[in-house]
Amino acid sequence: WANPPAIAALSGVRPEDANPLQTATTNRAVQSENYPDIQTLVLPLPVGEALGRVQQVATDLGWEIQAVDAASGVVEATDTTFWFGFVDDIAIRVGAASEQGATVDIRSVSRVGKSDLGKNAQRIRTFLSALQS
């Protein structure tokens, strides 16, 4: 998780008191240690097709797509939690794999709270699983 997808388009609509988008180096190490299963996914699809699939899966999961930058392969979306209506931000980056196919990296950030109780990791796992099926 050395290079998480940036959340750029949504940065201007986030509340001023939202959790920061910058990920401290120490947080990256903790996340890598605690969530070793969350890795870059390689899909056997051309980048353009993978980008379309990413958008479809996000929509199917009920996320609201806020921005798509096809040139950089980035999709930004929001997901609203069921119980309290918290809005969380998501960035998904699709790139070319070194071999044939596309890479997919995803990041999910809660706008509020000190702990998400594993919600962002659960969201990422659900997305990656749906993307592969």
- Looking at residue 112, its pLDDT comes to 79
Task: Report how far residue 5's alpha carbon sits from residue 60's, in angstroms, rounded to the nearest whole number.
Answer: 21
Would you mind telling me the total number of residues written for the chain in this entry?
133
- Looking at residue 48, its pLDDT comes to 96
- The domain covering 40-132 belongs, at the CATH homologous superfamily level, to Kinase associated domain 1, KA1 (3.30.310.80)
**What pTM value is reported for the model?**
0.88
Token look-up 């392969």 returns 73
103 backbone dihedrals φ, ψ, rounded to 5°: -100, 150
Structure tokens that stand for 44 in this block? 């056997």
Over the chain (133 residues), the average pLDDT of each successive run of 10 is 77 74 64 82 95 98 96 95 86 90 92 78 95 94
**Domain boundaries along the sequence of the chain:** 40-132
